[in-house]
């Protein structure tokens, strides 16, 4: 029985699974955001989080440990020189998974997995602040718009209604339509 086994096997042999995770990790470091299936992303997330934690140490032994998974020297350099310094203020949670729907061909759940950096967090916070300010402005504007509508309705009601004799005298005596109605507007 597999009780308590945390590894995601992905229905592949060990060598194939390790190669897949390595390739996904390299793609994520290269592009900072990739689209993949949910099960592959769940298998990749702990690996990439451990890689970033290791890269934050910035020692020779840390580079050698990361080189087991990341085969490219350029990507190792990018991980240690660009990504790890951005994550220094974070203790964990270096990546996130966002669901984007299902794949049309086989119905597999697709997700975006991305590295969270300080610039992403700042953008998210400013976007939230901007939305809240816009929402507050809209809420303030809405009552004033209602007041304006109410005032125009009151002025219309406040005008005295014309008597029936005045209304009859204004209507044309012939069978012509009143000036305000157009048959063309109906069609």
Q: Is residue 23 part of a domain?
A: yes
Separation CA 110–CA 37 (nearest Å): 5
Phi first, then psi: give them for residue 35, nearest 5 degrees.
-105, 125
Which two tokens mark 81? 């020189």
Q: Are residues 79 and 38 in the same domain?
A: yes
Task: State which of 56, 86, 116 marks the end of a domain.
Answer: 116
Q: Are residues 46 and 109 in the same domain?
A: yes
Q: What is the number of structural domains in the chain?
A: 2
> By residue range, what is the domain housing residue 78?
14-116
Q: Is residue 181 part of a domain?
A: no
CB proximity list for 44: less than 8 A, separation 6 or greater? 21, 24, 25, 28, 36, 95, 113
**Residue whose structure tokens are 């890269």:** 55
Q: What is the pLDDT along the chain (187 residues), one digit of tens a residue?
A: 989 988 899 999 999 999 999 999 999 999 999 999 999 999 999 999 999 999 999 999 999 999 999 999 999 999 999 999 999 999 999 999 999 999 999 999 999 999 997 665 555 555 556 565 555 555 555 555 555 555 655 555 555 555 555 555 555 555 555 555 555 555 4
């Amino acid at each position: 029985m597999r009780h308590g086994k945390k590894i995601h096997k992905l229905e592949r042999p060990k060598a194939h699974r390790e190669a897949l995770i390595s390739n996904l990790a390299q793609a994520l470091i290269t592009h900072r955001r990739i689209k993949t299936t949910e099960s592959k992303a769940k298998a990749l997330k702990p690996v990439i989080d451990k890689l970033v934690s290791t890269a934050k140490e910035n020692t020779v032994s840390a580079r050698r440990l990361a080189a087991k998974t990341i085969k490219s020297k350029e990507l190792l350099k990018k991980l240690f020189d660009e990504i790890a310094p951005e994550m220094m203020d974070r203790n964990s949670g270096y990546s996130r998974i966002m669901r984007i729907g299902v794949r049309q061909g086989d119905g597999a759940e697709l997700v975006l997995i991305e590295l969270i950096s300080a610039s992403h967090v700042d953008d998210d916070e400013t976007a939230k602040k901007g939305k809240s300010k816009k929402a507050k402005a809209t809420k303030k504007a809405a009552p004033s718009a209602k007041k304006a509508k109410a005032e125009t309705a009151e002025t219309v009601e406040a005008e005295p209604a014309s008597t029936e004799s005045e209304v009859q005298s204004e209507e044309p005596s012939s069978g012509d339509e009143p000036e305000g109605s157009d048959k063309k507007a109906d069609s």
